[in-house]
Amino acid sequence: MISRVKIFDTTLRDGEQTPGVNLNIHEKLEIARQLAKLGVDVIEAGFAIASPGDFEAVSAVASNVKGVTVASLCRAVEKDIDAAWDAVKAAEQPRIHTFIATSDIHMKYKLKMTEEEVLERAVAMVKYAKAYCSDIEFSAEDASRTRPEFLYRILEEVIKAGAVVVNIPDTVGYSNPVEFGNLIKGIRNNVPNIDKAEISVHCHNDLGMAVANSLAALENGAAQIECTINGLGERAGNAALEEIIMALNTRKDYYGIQHKIDTTQIYRTSKLVTNLTGISVQPNKAIVGANAFAHESGIHQHGVLAEKSTYEIMTPESIGLSHNRMVLGKLSGKHAFEERLKEMGYSLSPEEIQVAFEKFKKLADRKKVVLDKDIEALVGEKVSQIPEIYSLDSFQISSGNKVISTSTVSMKKNDEIITEAATGDGPIDAAFNAVERVVGMNFTLEDYNLRAVTEGKDALGEVTVRISNGKKTYIGRGVSTDIIEASVKAYINAINRSLSE
């Protein structure tokens, strides 16, 4: 077993492949900076050849985020590798990550290539990439369903060609911990030059075993784990970074493996990714779920009050989740607010602090006590950095169970106030229709989610919407103590996102 594991975060690449997630360049930069603060070793910033937007995002991360390796994924194709290098070359530590499928089913039905053709392509493209930089990672896609003899052979040859990291993906989440651990052990025992490369693993969660498989790989000699924040990714997602790290921390007695992750940044990172992707974590999600440190059973409550370790194997503070109930209200000053932001792990510019403070003061006029979760919701609004082409000025609703719901919405564009009215199937539908009249565009509402940020009748409501213009989907987010206002703000935010492109 290795003594230290490297964390390869692919939230910006595989995580963005989560259905419905569409991050812009500013949001990717925001997440990348937080990942660097979290302490990951490698950020896979995207798939440079996939689109001009992806190329620009990878380039922006490479140019602006320091202290980490920045990688771009690419197929084993020259033009992909060219694009990957052009995107990451400004990084302090650039990496080209190239892949090709190696399982019989993929070679026959997807690639329509023979073993020899796949082997030849893999070796040639690793050599091609090696001419650009020294840090080359090779992935054998669908490795867990690849015949071991062929997998050993192709890994040996790509290492000879210059790969310094060989990744073993469980691409469709097919494996189980014992089987996957034995696969890694087999590679260590049957690839003669495996000592010249690090073994990496990339596990998917289709059967709910991505984290378990990743940890089993560590026990058998893997040196790098590829994972995402909140377990985002294709289909059922990837191994969750927070679960892997806290398993290693909580069971140091068993694993004895070090890492460079600052665990107190885990909760902050999870919330940032939730806010920007619009994908909430389930309440019972391990480590970062709302119930992860909640105790309802009387027996559990009694035990925790007597000694926390009876039912808590880790502390909320260890992931950066503070239970500090410091009261902030309408009489609180900017200094106290700024200190609270710092304690919560936010690093905001003076301008961003001022904007957040103004929102806080407005909220404090409507709530007696502003809690940490309220502040998280307020600050979460700023991270999207979507240009406010339209902003909400005012709205009025007429609704009831025996009247047609009507909404009048006034919105500001530049210095002009535009007002429109519309009817709808309920107050929110009417408000959305009025907003569409203002902007002169029609959208399809694909998803609407409302949650209370805190408890109580004066709780801040957080609305997330997903809208479509027929070609792409856009996520919008709004918060307010008035759920209709939060809904309208979220809809306008999504529209601004579509217009900014």
Between CA 463 and CA 201 the distance in angstroms is 36
Q: Does residue 71 have a pLDDT over 50?
A: yes
Fold for 391-500, please state it.
Double Stranded RNA Binding Domain (3.30.160)
Q: Where are the domains of the chain?
A: 6-277, 293-320, 324-383, 391-500
Between CA 489 and CA 391 the distance in angstroms is 8
pLDDT band at 151 (very low <50, low <70, confident <90, very high): very high
**Is 6-277 in CATH node 3.20.20.70?**
yes
Predicted structure pTM score: 0.81
Among 85-94, 102-111, 285-294, 322-331, which is the least confidently predicted range?
322-331
DSSP assignment string, 270-291? HHHHHHHH--PPPTT-TTTSTT
Element (H or E) spanning 119, and its range? helix 115-130
pLDDT of residue 312: 83
pLDDT band at 327 (very low <50, low <70, confident <90, very high): low
Q: Does residue 303 have a pLDDT over 80?
A: no
Task: Report the sign of the C-alpha dihedral through residues 440, 21, 74, 8, in that order.
Answer: positive
The structure tokens 């480590």 sit at 287
CB 132 within 8 A of CB 104: no
CB 317 within 8 A of CB 292: no
pLDDT of residue 325: 45
**Greater pLDDT, 228 or 376:** 228
Question: What average pLDDT does this structure show over 42-46?
Answer: 98
**Each residue's pLDDT tens digit, 170-204:** 999 999 999 999 999 999 999 999 999 999 999 99
Between CA 416 and CA 195 the distance in angstroms is 66
CB 224 within 8 A of CB 200: yes
Between CA 330 and CA 337 the distance in angstroms is 11
Token pair recorded at residue 147: 């015949």
Question: What average pLDDT does this structure show over 453-479?
Answer: 86
Between CA 295 and CA 365 the distance in angstroms is 32
Return the closest-CA partner of residue 97 out of 166, 9, 145, 16: 166
Between CA 178 and CA 157 the distance in angstroms is 27
Question: What average pLDDT does this structure show over 63-74?
Answer: 98
Question: What average pLDDT does this structure show over 409-434?
Answer: 96
pLDDT of residue 338: 85
Whole-number mean pLDDT of the chain? Answer: 92
**Greater pLDDT, 456 or 215:** 215
CB 240 within 8 A of CB 274: no
Between CA 307 and CA 309 the distance in angstroms is 6
Which residues touch 1 (CB under 8 Å, ≥6 apart)? 218, 219, 220, 221, 255, 256, 257
CB 79 within 8 A of CB 132: no
pLDDT band at 72 (very low <50, low <70, confident <90, very high): very high
Token pair recorded at residue 159: 């290492």
Output Rg (C-alpha) for the chain, integer angstroms.
Answer: 25
Q: Strand pairing of 42-46 and 69-75?
A: parallel
pLDDT of residue 383: 45
